[in-house]
């Protein structure tokens, strides 16, 4: 393609060759031809006058594609499928009369789309579970490291670095469930005819309904599916596309949330995505270590989220047995949904394999806030020592406000604990302060929750995807 022509950045920068291939012209056209072969083989098996020589001729020419010839033919016919029939017939003169016999265009276009969607879901699921695996290792490694929890983006009760990662994993596991359900429920269009009634095939088999059903089943099995949809119009229901793209879009929302958290943590210098030795963070500011991978994920996933509305509107506007205003939209929406998801997951996998944690920074942030959080523990300890609770509460309130004023007005460190130590009122619990201030005493069951979540939920999932995980690799273009 000329450098003066538009190229999608999904192809040139972000998506994998593996995902790009299943949306390529080669994959589509060879799938059309294979479907015509499946149809011919099935018709022959059921008694149609088709020879082994004709089938062999078609099989021999599946990969012989003259794209320029095809382009010229389509410009004349203004019909993609008819142009492909003519070009294939030129290559297979002995088979010319049986190619596409009894079928409508959607026999090849819709069935090919379903083949592509099936392949795409398998790729996405393998990548998604690979991310879950990496984040799980991270969560287990940091399951006990205390860190500030945040509600309203304000410091709240402590959690652990690993526990926070389980929140990300939990959402991704919901996405795995949604996508694997789509894959499980995905069926083949099969041979349904012009309006879904199978009338042309019923004519070919002289009214034999059983042969028509058998034909549908044979083609379905040859194409790698176990079932076809019981009823369709001319097309399979675009609700199928909507279900799949909804699940991909939902995954996009999960990725955006995870990478937004990582960007915030990077700003706080607590957790950082991988940063290569020669990587440039900014052309103007040499010190910058921008979280560009996470930013890329957020950028692409926002696009993925918006594609849901395209699928919903396309489905909603399918009149009666079908209308062609779905075609151009689906060419863009289905391919971009999968390519964008692929790009997001590849980048997130790269991130999750190299996350860097800075415990000392985390510790310093805890030290700024822990004195305030410890007041509840101090209050309880004083009460246990026989001190009046309400009186103690007032004492702590006054000292907390004084310490807060030092932080906010003068930029000084939080000195609440020093104030408590200097006040003889708190003498009964001074010897306990170091225990009352241990960050690990504020994290509850966080560490245990991480281990339990891994053992009970994550480990069984990883076991199911054992073979796919062995084949998953990462190849990420690190430029913006």
Give me the active site residues, please.
152, 282
Q: Is 338 exposed, middle or buried (0-12, 13-18, 19+ CB in 10 A)?
A: buried
Are the C-beta atoms of 2 and 16 separated by less than 8 Å?
A: no
Report how far apart, in Å, the C-alpha atoms of 275 and of each of 48, 272, 303, 319, 478 are.
Answer: 63, 8, 25, 52, 10
Q: Which residues of 293-302 are buried (b: 16+ CB within 10 A; e: fewer)?
A: bbbbbbebbe
Q: What angle do CA 139, 120, 133 make, to 5 degrees?
A: 15
**Which residues are CB-contacts of 32 (< 8 A; sequence separation ≥ 6)?**
81, 84, 88, 108, 109, 112
Are the C-beta atoms of 106 and 230 separated by less than 8 Å?
A: no
- N residues, the chain: 480
Q: Enter the DSSP assignment of 326.
A: G
CA distance linking residue 129 with residue 172, whole number of Å: 8
Q: Which residues of 453-476 are buried (b: 16+ CB within 10 A; e: fewer)?
A: bbeeebeebeeebeebeeebeeeb
Q: What is the DSSP string of 251-293?
A: HHHHHHHHHHHHHHHHHTTSEE----TT--S-SS-TT----HH
C-alpha distance across the termini of the chain, in Å: 22
Q: How many CB atoms lie within 10 A of CB 235?
A: 25
CA distance linking residue 292 with residue 309, whole number of Å: 27
Of 249, 260, 256, 261, nearest to 175 by C-alpha is 249
3-class secondary structure, 151: strand
């Amino acid at each position: 393609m000329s450098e003066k022509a538009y190229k999608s950045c999904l192809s040139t920068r972000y998506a994998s060759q593996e995902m790009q291939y299943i949306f390529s012209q080669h994959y589509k056209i060879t799938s059309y031809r294979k479907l015509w072969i499946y149809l011919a083989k099935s018709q022959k098996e059921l008694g149609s006058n088709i020879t082994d020589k004709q089938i062999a001729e078609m099989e021999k020419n599946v990969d012989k594609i003259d794209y320029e010839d095809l382009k010229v033919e389509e410009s004349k016919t203004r019909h993609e499928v008819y142009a492909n029939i003519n070009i294939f017939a030129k290559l297979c003169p002995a088979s010319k009369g049986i190619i596409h016999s009894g079928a409508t265009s959607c026999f090849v276009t819709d069935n090919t789309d379903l083949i592509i969607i099936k392949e795409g879901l398998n790729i996405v699921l393998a990548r998604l579970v690979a991310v879950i695996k990496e984040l799980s290792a991270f969560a287990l490694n940091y399951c006990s490291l205390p860190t500030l929890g945040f509600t309203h983006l304000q410091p709240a009760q402590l959690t652990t670095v690993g526990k926070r990662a389980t929140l990300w994993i939990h959402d991704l596991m919901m996405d795995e469930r949604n996508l694997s359900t789509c894959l499980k429920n995905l069926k083949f269009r099969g041979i349904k005819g012009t309006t879904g009634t199978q009338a042309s095939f019923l004519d070919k088999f002289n009214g034999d309904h059983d042969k028509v059903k058998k034909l549908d089943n044979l083609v379905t099995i040859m194409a790698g599916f176990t079932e076809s949809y019981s009823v369709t119009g001319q097309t399979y229901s675009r609700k199928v596309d909507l279900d799949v793209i909804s699940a991909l879009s939902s995954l996009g929302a999960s990725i955006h949330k995870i990478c937004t958290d990582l960007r915030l943590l990077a700003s706080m210098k607590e957790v950082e995505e991988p940063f290569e030795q020669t990587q440039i963070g900014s052309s103007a500011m040499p010190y910058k270590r921008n979280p560009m991978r996470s930013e890329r994920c957020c950028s692409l996933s926002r696009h993925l989220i918006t594609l849901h509305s395209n699928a919903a509107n396309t489905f909603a506007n399918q009149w009666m047995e079908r209308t062609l205003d779905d075609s151009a939209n689906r060419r863009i929406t289905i391919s971009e949904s999968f390519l964008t998801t692929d790009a997001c997951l590849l980048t997130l996998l790269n991130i999750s394999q190299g996350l860097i944690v800075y415990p000392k920074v985390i510790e310093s942030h805890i030290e700024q806030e822990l004195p305030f959080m410890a007041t509840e523990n101090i209050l309880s300890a004083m009460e246990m020592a026989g001190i009046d609770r309400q009186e103690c509460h007032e004492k702590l309130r006054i000292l907390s406000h004084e310490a807060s004023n030092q932080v906010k007005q003068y930029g000084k460190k939080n000195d609440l604990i020093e104030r408590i130590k200097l006040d003889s009122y708190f003498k009964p619990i001074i010897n306990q302060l170091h225990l009352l201030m241990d960050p690990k005493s504020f994290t509850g069951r966080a560490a245990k929750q991480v281990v339990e979540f891994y053992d009970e939920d994550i480990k069984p999932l990883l076991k199911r995807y054992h073979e796919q995980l062995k084949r998953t690799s990462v190849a990420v273009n690190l430029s913006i």
